[in-house]
Structure 1
Amino acid sequence: MSENKRLLDDESKAFSKASRVKYFNIVVDSGKGATITDADGKTYIDLLASASSTNTGHSHPHIVKAIQDQAAKLIQYTPAYFANNPAVKLAPRLAALAPISGPVELSWGNSGSDANDAMIKFARAYTGRPYIVSFTGAYHGSTFGSLTLSSVSLNMSRKIGPLLPDVVKVPYPDPWQRLDGEDEDAFVDRMFKAFLQPFETYLPAEEVAAVVIEPIQGDGGIVKAPTAFVQKLAAFAKKNGILLAVDEVNQGMGRSGKWWSIEHFDVEPDLMVVGKSLASGMPLSAVIGRKEILESLNAPANVFTTAGNPVTTAAAMATLDVMEDEDLVGRSVKLGKKASDFFAKEKAKYPFIGDFRMYGLDGGIDIVDPETGEPDPEATTKLIYRVFELGAIIISLRGNILRFQPPLVITEEQLDQAFGMLDQAFSELAAGKLELPDNADEIGW
């Protein structure tokens, strides 16, 4: 019996199925740069970057040293009552990076989920209004507030209602859902009209605290909203005293070729949340916003025993060092262009690649039935499993979208190796050589 199987069999006796989206039956044992190694000693090129939470790669020496040095000094003393040295230094450094004019403050959390909850708290407190608007296809987290904002899977609402009240969802302007013959201007007009419909029929704008959006949706398929739509949204929000709140948990920290994905749109948010890669995967998040908004609540409205603790904030300080010293934002742009060129060539060769988008080193590749153009989840599962067998980790979103988010430190040689594996899998699918794994019905969202 393999070590992977032995460990997973032992875990299954004590681990809830609600706590993991299944893909491949491995136990990750170690990682270095853009590779991970499982309990059986097999190494894979990582094209997922731990769900975009390790943009700096695995076990970066500078970050490891920061964690080790801080752990030897002080692992935890609750930031709920006392400051600690790394957090004191990190707060102004991170606030200065926010794409928000004027005085900026932040509040720590442990995950993107509780940071989105915090965004709801501060928006309601500052405006004195109850309603929050979010978008279909969104993933904001798994706490009750963030889960209520989300709408990427029915299992995030099935059996667990009632959810947070006064949250209204509107259609996300997914450009890949344009009608035949519909140009972008007409699409934006149509989607903005759908956005306005609640405000014109039952939702008083003066009672809405915030609109929460992923400028580029992550788990919704790596999909960028049209710039004109986001600008119309920002103007509407400003006109009506509604806060524009952006979720940068998945798409921030250089992932899209900018520090923050909202920087692609030439608008400023009032609030934003960060997490995942903020501390290179260590449990740290933050809600960041205009000072007057973050001053609208008093402690203990957003206090956590471990949020902003010494080790996680030391890791985040080192993460920012690596992002800046190795120009990982610029690297995301450069390698994203290389990836875009590769997928353009593959699309020309294989009709089952319906379309793709790449924003920095951040891509979604649609797998479709060549005859109908409809999503093909079965072919997608065959592909990700074959790529896994060949030695790389890539997963699916929405059933038929390949999620391409390698660590920003991946080498060009590793990227070329991964492209070779993807091309082999594509060619084998085209030749009818791929079969579904035995557990195909368990795989994916």
Structure 2
Amino acid sequence: MFQMSNQKMLDKEQQHYAKAARIKYFDIVIKSGKGAILTDEDDNKYIDLLSSASSTNTGHSHPHVVKAIQDQANQLIQYTPAYFATTPEAELTPRVAALAPIEGPVKVAFGNSGSDANDAIIKFARAYTGRQYIVSFTGAYHGSTYGSISTSGVSLNMTRKIGPLLPGVVKVPFPSPWYKLPHESDDDFSDRMFAAFKLPFETYLPADETAVIEIEAIQGDGGFVKAPEKFLNQVYQFAQAHGILFAIDEVNQGLGRSGKMWSIDHFPDVHPDLVAVGKSIASGLPLSAVLGRKEVLDALDAPGNVYTTAGNPVTTAAANATLDVIEDENLVQRSAKLGKQAHQFFDKMKNKFSFVGDVRIYGLNGGIDIVNPETGKPDSEAATKLICRIFELGALMITVRGNILRFQPPLVIKESDLKKAFAMIEQAMQELNEGKLTKSPTNMGW
């Protein structure tokens, strides 16, 4: 068969592909992947430092997952769980419930994406509490359906031209490090941000009419920022005191990504009522889940959260195989171990190059700020030059918030490939430091 090049395929696709459906980065068409290595239509190979937006923690085409998909496709591809259970779904449900970072009996509701899992959190929270208001945080990315896009707060293009959005949603400031004042202690910063969190409740938002507070314990697209422990504890205690449900979005950060099974495991005193899971639960196949306390999920009757294809036989078979891989290959522990190497490397880059600002690494996962050395302000142009040069050298890395390098390789990445990627990043940074990187594409990234 005649093989088209990247550019020829893109030229044909772009005549018909909606611009709202893809964030602009590199002009490639990915043909195949194995482990942490991707191949494009021109047969160029890349070390993947993105993991398909953290949806392939087990790597690309893991043989155990592939076999599970193939075997299930030979048995039954689809029958809607809206009416009947299927074997892999019935096996997966108690398994996922047992993993939930929730105290007491847990129930599970499946969906097709992290977006509808976060929509489900809104529905179940309102049904259980009988309250209307939903509280989320600036910098959040919860998804693109109308409910989840209403609770998101990371891009103006997620609100521009599509309002009005879901009513009853109130956003409060997330304690990102760039809001910290010079010489402000961690405790004082947490207290100040908690005061900002409480301000709506003291002025116009009745706590007794608030159904749920949802947060990413480690924000992903908002900059890869872990909430200060004191702050998160304060918010959780506030929710407990006022009968408000507490929900954690684990779509990006769950399933070993942060060096623990769940990002909320970094906060031992917080016990969520609801958890949204997606992306890597089925190694990137369209499956999500909302996990919740039994009494909360029992508050809504069918068909209040029914989807024709949610939890179908193939995706749930893939999810069972994915959990096998996470357990059998100790991927949570591996993420923590290799994450330490990544932290050491990026700290070394920070000490070596003045344009590397804050480094935030949690497992094989994090954000590296690229800043103007003279002002300390974000430098999106320099960050774009870096990812373009890293791409030329043979690794896929993108930015969030314009100036933050996103680091999320598959948890199965070989140490040798990780070191190769580090060498590429260091070379690109060295060339930027020497003024050799002149390319600066426009309209790239978030």
| TM-score between both structures, scaled by the size of structure 2 | 0.99
Instruction: Give the counterpart letter for 1:83 in structure 2.
Output: A
> Alignment partner of 2:318: what SS?
helix
Match of 1:130 in 2: 132
Q: Distance in 1 between matches of 2:348 and 2:178?
A: 20
Match of 2:439 in 1: 436
1:365 maps onto 2:371 in alignment: no
State whether residues 56 and 322 of structure 1, in contact with CA within 8 Å, keep that contact through their aligned partners in structure 2.
yes
1:331 maps onto 2:325 in alignment: no
Match of 1:278 in 2: 281
| Cα RMSD for the two superposed structures | 0.8
Match of 1:103 in 2: 105
Match of 1:22 in 2: 24
Match of 1:343 in 2: 346
Equivalent runs, 1:269-308 vs 2, <5 Å: 269-308=272-311
State whether residues 378 and 436 of structure 1, in contact with CA within 8 Å, keep that contact through their aligned partners in structure 2.
no
Equivalent runs, 1:391-430 vs 2, <5 Å: 391-430=394-433
Deviation at 1:435, TM superposition (A): 1.7
Instruction: Give the counterpart letter for 2:442 in structure 1.
Output: D
Instruction: Give the counterpart letter for 1:434 in structure 2.
Output: L
Match of 1:198 in 2: 200
Give the percent of matched residue pairs that are identical in Structure 1 and Structure 2: 68
Q: Distance in 2 between matches of 1:146 and 1:298?
A: 21
Q: Distance in 2 between matches of 1:357 and 1:13?
A: 39
Superposed CA deviations along residues 342-372 of structure 1, whole A, max 9, x for unmatched, are: 0111111100001101101111000000000
Superposed CA deviations along residues 108-167 of structure 1, whole A, max 9, x for unmatched, are: 000000000000000000000000000000000000000000010000000000000000
Deviation at 1:101, TM superposition (A): 1.3
Match of 1:263 in 2: 265
1:376 maps onto 2:389 in alignment: no
Match of 1:252 in 2: 254
Superposed CA deviations along residues 276-327 of structure 1, whole A, max 9, x for unmatched, are: 0000000000000100000001100000000000000000000000000000
Instruction: Give the counterpart letter for 2:103 in structure 1.
Output: S
Q: Distance in 2 between matches of 1:157 and 1:195?
A: 22
Given candidates 174, 177, 189, the residue that maps to 2:176 is: 174
Q: Distance in 2 between matches of 1:324 and 1:23?
A: 34
Deviation at 1:193, TM superposition (A): 0.1
- The unaligned stretches of length 5 or more in structure 1 are none
Given candidates 117, 120, 128, the residue that maps to 1:118 is: 120
State whether residues 175 and 225 of structure 1, in contact with CA within 8 Å, keep that contact through their aligned partners in structure 2.
no
Instruction: Give the counterpart letter for 1:243 in structure 2.
Output: L
Superposed CA deviations along residues 43-71 of structure 1, whole A, max 9, x for unmatched, are: 10000000000000000000000000000
Match of 1:150 in 2: 152
> Alignment partner of 1:256: what SS?
coil
State whether residues 282 and 315 of structure 1, in contact with CA within 8 Å, keep that contact through their aligned partners in structure 2.
yes
Aligned residues: 443
Given candidates 70, 74, 85, the residue that maps to 2:72 is: 70
Runs of 4+ in 1 over 4 A off after TM superposition: none
State whether residues 175 and 226 of structure 1, in contact with CA within 8 Å, keep that contact through their aligned partners in structure 2.
no
Q: Distance in 1 between matches of 2:251 and 2:347?
A: 28
Given candidates 52, 65, 70, the residue that maps to 1:50 is: 52
Superposed CA deviations along residues 259-283 of structure 1, whole A, max 9, x for unmatched, are: 0000101111000000000000000
Q: Distance in 2 between matches of 1:302 and 1:157?
A: 25
Deviation at 1:2, TM superposition (A): 6.6
Instruction: Give the counterpart letter for 2:153 in structure 1.
Output: S
Superposed CA deviations along residues 376-405 of structure 1, whole A, max 9, x for unmatched, are: 000000000000000000000000000000
- Provide closer, same or farther for how the CA distance between residues 2 and 366 of structure 1 changes in structure 2, counting only shifts above 3 A: farther
Q: Distance in 2 between matches of 1:300 and 1:436?
A: 53
Deviation at 1:13, TM superposition (A): 1.1
Match of 1:235 in 2: 237
| TM-score between both structures, scaled by the size of structure 1 | 0.99
> Alignment partner of 1:188: what SS?
helix
